[in-house]
Structure 1
Amino acid sequence: MRPDKKLLILTLSFLILVNSALFGDNPPTAKIVRTTEAPRIDGNINEPVWETATTLTEFRQHSPVFNANPSFPTKVLLLYDNEAVYVAAILSDPHPDSIANQLGERDNEDLNADYFGIGFDTYNNQQDAYYFLVSASDIQVDGRKADGTYDAV
């Protein structure tokens, strides 16, 4: 990323996971726009197809302060077609040179790095999800998370 840019733009092909712990029984929802034209996955969102995307701006922070308002504006664009779900995230930071970006191996989510994460609640049960993260240094993480507080009894 060029140092003169004020935005960190990451483009991924996945859906957003909304953590039910943040929102209780009423997690936010959004209708994702279907497209017939797949966007180019190149980190740029200047193609006209992105202008039709669902736009999300209401987010909560996971860390360093759980459930706090984001430190800086965040905008996520969502599209899907028969092949994939497309996510473009615009993560603003007035000081991009201070973004934590420790290098490491794939699937290491314990680095000193800023991450953007998304996931699928494929069973729509708000108890488990497949998740995907990418760090500011392009470390990719994927896995499955379960709600450790869930008790069926």
Structure 2
Amino acid sequence: MRWTSDLRLASIAVVIVAVCAIDGAADTFPPSPIDARPHVTAARATTSIEIDGRLDEPGWGRAVETTPFVQYDPEQGAPSKFTTRVRILFDDEALYIGVRCDDPAGRDGTRVPDLRRDFDFDQNDLFGVSFDPFLTGRDAVSFQVKRGQNKSR
């Protein structure tokens, strides 16, 4: 009986130490600068939007242009080296995200080593979008695209 109660006390002590260590560890890691992501507002599309890679329909003029953004690599949270502009529209059936990623080197400046499905994220230039559908500030639904994965006519 004594052995069981000693084991129980030891287990409780281990759990308490682990919880305190986890609680203290949260204070040692400051929030990443990337946590200050921009919030974007979508505008209602008043005309039809064609998925063609161009942002020349009149509806895109109603969308607020969002810039600047930050980079992930090589210095997380630093301002992007090149300008990225995002516009978002919606209608009753879809959400449209128009992105313009500038690079002075043009297509030769983007990193897309191959088009495999399972690729190395660090070796590709990507654009990603995250949604917080529950407005918790902690949960997200995300997707990323790279040049060459997009369809156009």
Q: 1:61 pairs with 68, 71, 82, which one?
A: 71
Q: Does structure 1 residue 121 correspond to structure 2 residue 136?
A: no
- 1:98 is aligned to 109
- Give the structure with higher Rg (CA): 2
Q: Does 1:72 align with 2:72?
A: no
Greater relative contact order, per chain length (Cα 8 Å cut-off, separation 6+): 1
Length-normalised TM-score, structure 1: 0.68
> 1:23 Cα shift?
6.0
Q: Deviations over 1:111-151 (max 9, x none)?
A: 62100111211111121211111112328xxxxxxxxxxxx
Query: What are structure 1's unaligned runs of at least 5 residues?
Result: 1-19, 140-153
- 1:45 is aligned to 55
Structure 1 SS opposite 2:123: coil
Q: Which has the higher strand share?
A: 1
Contact 1:74–1:92, Cα closer than 8 Å, also in 2: yes
Shift of 1:107: 5.1
- Residue aligned with 2:149, SS: coil
Structure 1 stretch 55-64 or stretch 73-82: which is displaced more? 55-64
In structure 2, stretches of 5+ residues that fail to align are 1-30
| More off after superposition, 56-65 vs 73-82 | 56-65
Shift of 1:29: 2.7
